[in-house]
Amino acid sequence: MSVNKNIVLMGPPGGGKGTQAVRLAAELNMKHLATGDLLRAAVAQKSDLGLKVKDILESGGLVSDDIIIALIAEQLDKMGSEQGIILDGFPRTVPQAQALDEMFKNKNNNIDYAIEIEVPDEKIIERITGRFACAKCGKGYHDKFMKPLKEGFCDVCGGNEFSRRKDDNKETVKERLAQYKQMTAPIIPYYQKQGKLVNINGDDEPNTVYQKIVNILLK
Ligand code: AMP
């Protein structure tokens, strides 16, 4: 099955955007574009971009709009006229949302839905500080909610090395949440005015959240 709607996945850090986006891309043949993943890859490669953004990522602050907009413009350019794009972690400010609309307009395309996954603050810290991933294939896990079936080994590739994001610690999470409230929450009314906003309760089983998103996309 393929879905050709373009969506923005919104919600606080640790709200489950990445988990949902990976599954949507795999099962509905959509294209997942995650600014956080692109930036972490740049940091790992020590590219010019990576060197510029490393400290910002580690502190939980936001990378400047100019840098992020240029990064997304380049990725969307590469995608040409592809449909079924999931934007995960972008936009995070109103200027980014405006720039995104402009980019899609220039391709005679548009964002169909902005899906906000809502999770209460008190759940965020527990979710974020417990997460880790397979160092080889990237499969995500959680100390409490999603342990590998066989302890110490990845369910997908059998790898036995795992990593944690450097910014997944209590202090940085607080800063990321503050940034979310100050800079990102204002894009919720932006999409509401356009009639594109859909709210989903993210304080639920990942599978339930997934089914709700699929129902929206198949409407
Ligand atoms: P994420 O993986 O989406 O949680 O993003 C990790 C970090 O990358 C964020 O805490 C920011 O420092 C940076 N980042 C990702 N996307 C954006 C964006 N759209 N605007 C600004 N900074 C971003």
Mean pLDDT of the chain, nearest integer? 95
- pLDDT band for 110, please (50, 70, 90 cuts): very high
Q: What DSSP element (H or E) covers 8?
A: strand 7-10
Sign, CA dihedral 32-46-178-203, equals positive
Query: What pLDDT is recorded for position 1?
Result: 82
Distances, alpha carbon 1 to alpha carbons 53, 84, 111, 173, in Å:
37, 12, 20, 36
Length of the chain counted residue by residue: 219
Query: What pLDDT is recorded for position 172?
Result: 94
Query: What pLDDT is recorded for position 126?
Result: 92
**How does pLDDT run across 13-36, given as a tens digit for each residue?**
999 999 999 999 999 999 999 999
Active site residue 40: no
Lowest-confidence range among 79-83, 128-132, 190-194?
79-83
Catalytic residue among 5, 17, 40, 212: 17
HSE-CB at 108 with a 13 A cutoff on CA atoms is: 1
**How does pLDDT run across 138-169, given as a tens digit for each residue?**
999 999 999 999 999 999 999 999 999 999 99
Query: What pLDDT is recorded for position 168?
Result: 95
C-alpha of residue 150 to centroid of ligand 1, in Å: 32
Strand partners, 134: 162
| Alpha-helical runs (H) found in the chain | 17-28, 35-45, 48-59, 65-79, 94-106, 121-129, 170-179, 187-193, 206-217
When pLDDT is averaged across residues 185-192 and rounded to a whole number, the result is 96
What is the rounded CA–CA span in Å between residue 29 and residue 15? Answer: 22
C-alpha of residue 36 to centroid of ligand 1, in Å: 5
Catalytic residue among 52, 165, 174, 196: 165
Active site residue 92: yes
Ligand 1 nearest atom to the CA of residue 13, by list position? 4
Query: What pLDDT is recorded for position 219?
Result: 84
Query: What pLDDT is recorded for position 81?
Result: 86
Cis ω before 13 (30° cut-off from 0): no
What is the rounded CA–CA span in Å between residue 24 and residue 213? Answer: 9
Query: What pLDDT is recorded for position 49?
Result: 97
When pLDDT is averaged across residues 126-140 and rounded to a whole number, the result is 94
Note if the pTM is more than 0.95: no
Query: What pLDDT is recorded for position 141?
Result: 95
Residue closest via CA to ligand 1's atom 10 equals: 60
Active site residue 127: no
Ligand 1 nearest atom to the CA of residue 57, by list position? 12
Instruction: Return the ∠ at Cα 173 (arms to 167 and 175), rounded to 5°.
Output: 105
Pick from 70, 83, 72: nearest CA to 112: 83
Burial class of residue 216 (count of CB atoms within 10 Å of its CB; 0-12, 13-18, 19+): middle
